[in-house]
């Protein structure tokens, strides 16, 4: 069974990112130990508290006491890139992301792609989200598990002749699980992925100066290109 940890990022102009890091639940303990060891490395090399929540936009903005000494923005950018490289190099995760000006569209497209991939691989999966929108997200997932109309990319579905066809989330097990991001390294990693994509798609001069517009590129080895072969970046980003 797969575990998919999902978080979002957005800008003030109404552009939304959802990113999922997907891992094999049967190897969860081994994966967790790798993540924890990585946090120990950040502690040894930069002083970052092992138990402190790394919240991506606050981290990049230089906010928060993340160590027993000040860590300024250039060093934070270096750490941020290390996080991206860890996700790519650990061989524990697949990263899938969506972006759109319509928040619900971005959310549903990501869920559909995770489900479609799970069907192709004959896997079931559990969804994990940050706390804060439990009622709305649960309602969406329950609906999509029963009735999930998807428009045909060709105008009509061949088997039905209809413009849309219901393809429920058949591989999604149970309601989504909500965890406080402060207590979940995995949701924090998903948050970093989402923010990195936001800064690549919607760059800010102050962040670009520190390389945030290229951070998401580090995830190329663990991105599923097949999820959207028409992605102009060639990383399977769902649009």
Q: Where are the alpha helices (DSSP H) in 147-184?
A: none
What pLDDT score was predicted for residue 157? 57
Which among 56, 55, 52, 23 has a CA at the least distance from the CA of 39? 52
* CA dist list (Å): 161 to 148, 165, 168: 17, 9, 18
What pLDDT score was predicted for residue 158? 53
* 165: phi then psi, degrees, rounded to nearest 5: -135, 135
Q: Running DSSP on this structure, what letter comes out for residue 172?
A: B
DSSP 3-state of 165: strand
What pLDDT score was predicted for residue 181? 96
What pLDDT score was predicted for residue 149? 82
Cβ atoms of 43 and 49 within 8 Å: the answer is yes
* 67: phi then psi, degrees, rounded to nearest 5: -150, 175
What pLDDT score was predicted for residue 150? 80
What average pLDDT does this structure show over 195-208?
98
pLDDT score of 111 more than 90: yes
What pLDDT score was predicted for residue 165? 78
What pLDDT score was predicted for residue 166? 84
Q: How far apart are CA 66 and CA 50, in angstroms?
A: 9
What pLDDT score was predicted for residue 174? 96
Q: How far apart are CA 23 and CA 16, in angstroms?
A: 23
DSSP 3-state of 2: strand
Q: CB neighbours (10 Å) of residue 106? A: 22
What pLDDT score was predicted for residue 153? 64
pLDDT score of 106 more than 60: yes
Domains, the chain, ordered by start: 2-228 (3.30.420)
Which among 25, 74, 61 has a CA at the least distance from the CA of 186? 25
The structure's pTM equals 0.94
What average pLDDT does this structure show over 24-46?
98
Q: Could you read off the pLDDT of 143-189 as tens digits, one per residue?
A: 999 998 887 565 565 565 555 678 899 999 999 999 999 999 999 99
Rounded mean pLDDT of the chain?
94
pLDDT score of 53 more than 60: yes
Convert 83-99 into a string of H (helix), E (strand) and C (coil): HHHHHHHCCCCEEEEEE
What pLDDT score was predicted for residue 152? 59
DSSP 3-state of 29: helix
Q: How far apart are CA 56 and CA 23, in angstroms?
A: 21
């Amino acid at each position: 069974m797969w575990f998919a940890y999902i978080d979002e990022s957005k800008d003030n102009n109404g552009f939304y990112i959802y990113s999922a890091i997907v891992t094999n639940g049967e190897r969860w303990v081994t994966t967790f130990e790798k993540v924890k060891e990585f946090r120990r490395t950040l502690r040894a090399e930069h002083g970052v508290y092992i138990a402190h929540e790394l919240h991506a936009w606050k981290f990049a903005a230089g906010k928060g006491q993340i160590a027993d000494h000040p860590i300024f923005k250039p060093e934070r950018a270096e750490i941020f890139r290390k996080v991206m490289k860890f996700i790519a190099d650990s061989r524990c995760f697949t990263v899938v992301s969506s972006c759109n000006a319509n928040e619900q569209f971005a959310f549903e497209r990501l869920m559909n792609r995770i489900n479609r991939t799970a069907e192709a691989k004959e896997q079931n999966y559990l969804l994990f989200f940050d706390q804060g929108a439990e009622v709305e997200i649960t309602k969406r997932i329950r609906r999509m598990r029963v009735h999930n109309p998807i428009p045909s990319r060709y105008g009509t579905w061949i088997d039905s002749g209809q413009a849309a066809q219901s393809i429920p989330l058949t591989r999604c097990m149970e309601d989504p699980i909500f965890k406080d991001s402060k207590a979940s390294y995995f949701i924090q990693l998903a948050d970093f992925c989402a923010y990195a994509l936001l800064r690549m798609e919607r760059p800010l001069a102050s962040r670009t100066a520190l390389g945030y517009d290229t951070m998401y590129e580090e995830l190329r080895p663990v991105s599923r290109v097949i999820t959207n072969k028409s992605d102009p970046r060639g990383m399977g980003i769902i649009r």
